Amino acid sequence: METRNCLQFLTSLSLTLLCYLLHFSAADFTPADNYLLNCGSTTTNASFYNRVFHADGSSTTKSDSLSTTTGSISLKNPNPSQDSPALYNTARVFTGGGDSIYRFHIRRNGTHLVRFHFSPFVSQDFNLNSAKFSVFVGEFLVLGDFSTQVVVVKEFVVKVEIDVLEIMFRPVNGSGFGFVNAIEVFSAPNDFIIDDGARFITASGATEEYTNLSSRVLEVIHRINVGGLNLTPFNDTLWRTWIPDEDFLVFKYTAKRVVTTDTPNYQKGGSTREIAPDNVYMTAQEMNRENATIGARFNITWDFPVVSGGARHLVRLHFCDIVSSSLYQLYFNVYINDYSAYKNLDLSTMTIRPMLSSPWYIDFVVDSDDSGVMRISVGPSDWSTPLKMNAILNGVEIMKMVHVTGSKTGKKKKRVWILVVSVVGGFIILCLAVLVVLLSFKCKKKKPKPRPAESVG
Ligand SMILES: *[C@@H]1O[C@H](CO)[C@@H](O)[C@H](O)[C@H]1NC(C)=O
Ligand SMILES: *[C@@H]1O[C@H](CO)[C@@H](O)[C@H](O)[C@H]1NC(C)=O
Ligand SMILES: *[C@@H]1O[C@H](CO)[C@@H](O)[C@H](O)[C@H]1NC(C)=O
Ligand SMILES: *[C@@H]1O[C@H](CO)[C@@H](O)[C@H](O)[C@H]1NC(C)=O
Ligand SMILES: *[C@@H]1O[C@H](CO)[C@@H](O)[C@H](O)[C@H]1NC(C)=O
Ligand SMILES: *[C@@H]1O[C@H](CO)[C@@H](O)[C@H](O)[C@H]1NC(C)=O
Ligand SMILES: *[C@@H]1O[C@H](CO)[C@@H](O)[C@H](O)[C@H]1NC(C)=O
């Protein structure tokens, strides 16, 4: 009798827990693959914007490792500053002149986000400011001869279609060394990069369809919340950082900030909360028509620094009509590098149901010119009536395409440090196993609803 009561109690407890988990995963994006490593730490899990980064040298994460040899060192910052997050107070240093490889088991093929956190500090044996190294993600050289004197996060978008993703660190030459403070590898939503609909703006200014966008490796260069505030990983569905646009405006007086308090109407055919969070679509810059001296027709123009000389970029522009009082009033043109990119853009017709405040985005593929900037302008269309003349922009992302290199093959197999990371924390597996057992007891009486497999694993 006693055990039966206990079982009933446990069953209801686990059901409550499962409901909570399911509710939680419905409200928030839960990546199928989700690796967060606190590099150079042997014991400490570090919390960073509410996410726990696991020690890359701990016994739990090493439980699946193939082998560990010399060639890497766990380094602790001897003099951490008070506002420095714990995640940045340790680093793994790659020495020995050889390659060091992290291996990640991939549970679901598709686009992944890969972030590297670098926070150089000085210890007795190493000055991380003088590190110089290259980083490969799979076959792609993503950082070549990299060094940094400031805290920086490098983010890449990579399509992964292999069982094990290898991330390799290679010091620049025999005497050099490399380092990293933290690594994130996690699944992006399915529709994060799609192959349909990207427009390639050629050197002659013509637009044509760009195919195979999803198979390109992309490096995030700019992520801008136009008309808005700084957004931290706290405020973003995929833990991204967005910065305001003001510093990129060519003529500040041409633009006027707009802010709404209404949450966006996400719709089929438009954007999603994972493509960009609410905050991006709830602010914009519009034409500042209050200044009589600049006339009625003018563009708002932003210049974003990029590498010059033909580097190929993905330019993703985010729009949401938070300025109109009714549909079919706002028509405007979009220009990239002074070429027409989209004429007579009518946000009212972009999603399945015509509705104001419906987020929408569009991808352009553009080669950089020799100016060293990506110039983006929005301005009035010929369709606008004089009273309703306006143009808006809510968000900008600029990503550089990384090209395939052959340099990874034929590498010397010297001292390779290998770390295989376990798929999920053992604790979670244990919990779910217990839940499954308890549920199967319950199932004999009452059939539960089918559960989405991906949130359980
Ligand atoms: C991913 O794709 C590769 C190549 O098509 C395949 O070998 C692998 O089994 C796939 N992995 C998963 C988890 O589906
Ligand atoms: C390593 O590379 C740096 C610059 O890339 C160079 O100055 C230095 O001489 C090189 N060292 C060796 C041992 O090759
Ligand atoms: C582009 O995609 C098509 C079809 O998916 C494929 O056949 C082709 O090899 C791809 N091209 C490149 C350059 O990846
Ligand atoms: C971002 O998140 C922080 C912490 O939750 C919050 O204080 C801040 O107001 C948020 N910012 C925006 C723009 O929502
Ligand atoms: C109005 O526009 C002129 C440029 O034509 C600019 O110099 C001036 O600062 C603007 N005034 C305001 C109040 O923005
Ligand atoms: C806006 O910029 C484009 C590209 O430089 C230019 O062709 C167009 O004339 C400008 N529009 C206005 C109203 O200045
Ligand atoms: C770190 O996280 C792992 C995986 O969730 C866990 O097993 C371990 O106990 C944690 N370590 C500490 C010191 O909290």
How many other β-carbons are positioned within 10 Å of the β-carbon of residue 173?
10
- Containing 224, the helix (H) or strand (E) segment is strand 217-225
Integer angstrom CA distances of residue 405 from 115, 143, 214, 312, 441: 20, 12, 18, 16, 55
How many angstroms separate the CA atoms of 317 and 443, rounded? 49
Strands 283-287 and 392-393: antiparallel
Residues 452, 23 contacting (CB under 8 angstroms): no
- Containing 315, the helix (H) or strand (E) segment is strand 312-319
Greater confidence (430 vs 371) lies with: 371
- Tokens, residue 16: 């409550």
Q: What is the pLDDT of residues 51-72, one digit of tens each?
A: 999 888 764 444 333 333 447 8
Concatenated DSSP letters for 90-124?
A: EEEEE-TTS-EEEEEE-SS-EEEEEEEEE---B-S
Domain 2-28+191-401 matches domain 34-187 at the CATH topology level? yes
DSSP 263: P
403 ligand 3 Cβ < 6 A: no
The correct CATH number of 2-28+191-401 out of 3.40.50.2300, 3.40.50.11720, 3.20.20.60, 2.60.120.430 is 2.60.120.430
Tell the residue nearest (CA) to atom 4 of ligand 6. 338
Residue 50 backbone phi and psi in degrees, to 5 = 70, 10
Mutate to test the pocket of ligand 4, among 48, 232, 279 (most ligand atoms within 8 A of CB): 232
Greater confidence (88 vs 96) lies with: 88
329 ligand 4 Cβ < 6 A: no
Dihedral sign for Cα atoms in the order 366, 369, 375, 378: negative
Mutate to test the pocket of ligand 3, among 139, 196, 211, 401 (most ligand atoms within 8 A of CB): 211
Q: Which atom of ligand 3 is nearest to the CA of 211?
A: 1
175 ligand 2 Cβ < 6 A: yes
DSSP 403: P
Greater confidence (19 vs 74) lies with: 74
147 ligand 2 Cβ < 6 A: no
431 ligand 2 Cβ < 6 A: no
How many angstroms separate the CA atoms of 93 and 339, rounded? 46
Q: For residue 401, give the ligand nearest its CA.
A: 3
How many angstroms separate the CA atoms of 82 and 105, rounded? 35
Q: What is the pLDDT of residues 307-343, one digit of tens each?
A: 998 899 999 999 999 999 999 999 999 999 999 999 9
- pTM value is 0.83
Print burial letters for 396-416: b (CB count within 10 Å at least 16), e (below 16). bbbbbebeeeeebeeeeeebb
Q: pLDDT category, 296, cuts 50, 70, 90?
A: confident
Strand partners, 421: 104
Tell the residue nearest (CA) to atom 4 of ligand 5. 294
Q: Which atom of ligand 1 is nearest to the CA of 108?
A: 13
163 ligand 1 Cβ < 6 A: yes
Mutate to test the pocket of ligand 7, among 58, 59, 427 (most ligand atoms within 8 A of CB): 58
CA of 323 to the centre of ligand 5 (A): 22
215 ligand 3 Cβ < 6 A: yes
Q: For residue 33, give the ligand nearest its CA.
A: 1
- CATH number for the region 34-187 comes to 2.60.120.430
- Tokens, residue 419: 């770390």
Tell the residue nearest (CA) to atom 5 of ligand 5. 294
373: Cβ contacts below 8 Å, ≥ 6 apart = 303, 304, 305, 306
Integer angstrom CA distances of residue 212 from 194, 203, 266, 350: 8, 19, 26, 23
Q: What is the pLDDT of residues 388-421, one digit of tens each?
A: 899 999 999 999 999 754 444 433 344 445 555 5
120: Cβ contacts below 8 Å, ≥ 6 apart = 127, 128, 129, 131, 148, 149, 150, 151, 179
Query: What's the chain's length in residues?
Result: 457
End-to-end CA distance of the chain: 34
Q: For residue 427, give the ligand nearest its CA.
A: 7
How many other β-carbons are positioned within 10 Å of the β-carbon of residue 419?
23
Q: Domain ranges in the chain?
A: 2-28+191-401, 34-187
Q: Is 201 exposed, middle or buried (0-12, 13-18, 19+ CB in 10 A)?
A: buried
**3-class DSSP assignment, residue 284:** strand
Strand partners, 410: none
CA of 227 to the centre of ligand 4 (A): 16
212 ligand 3 Cβ < 6 A: yes
Greater confidence (226 vs 25) lies with: 226
**According to the model, what pLDDT value does residue 226 have?**
98
The percentage of residues in the chain with a pLDDT greater than 70, rounded to a whole number, is 79
How many angstroms separate the CA atoms of 222 and 305, rounded? 9
In the chain, the amino acid numbered 207 is T
**According to the model, what pLDDT value does residue 19 have?**
38
Q: What is the pLDDT of residues 333-375, one digit of tens each?
A: 999 999 999 999 999 999 888 999 999 999 999 999 999 999 9
How many angstroms separate the CA atoms of 313 and 283, rounded? 25
Tokens 């027409």 belong to: 340
Tokens 């990874």 belong to: 408
Integer angstrom CA distances of residue 234 from 8, 239, 262, 304: 38, 7, 20, 25
**According to the model, what pLDDT value does residue 453 have?**
33
Tell the residue nearest (CA) to atom 6 of ligand 5. 253
Pick the closest to residue 333 from 381, 395, 402 (CA basis). Answer: 381
Tokens 């295989």 belong to: 420
Q: From its phi and psi, is residue 105 left (phi > 0), alpha (psi between -120 and 50) or beta?
A: beta
Q: From its phi and psi, is residue 237 left (phi > 0), alpha (psi between -120 and 50) or beta?
A: alpha
Strands 100-105 and 417-421: parallel
Tell the residue nearest (CA) to atom 3 of ligand 2. 173
145 ligand 1 Cβ < 6 A: no
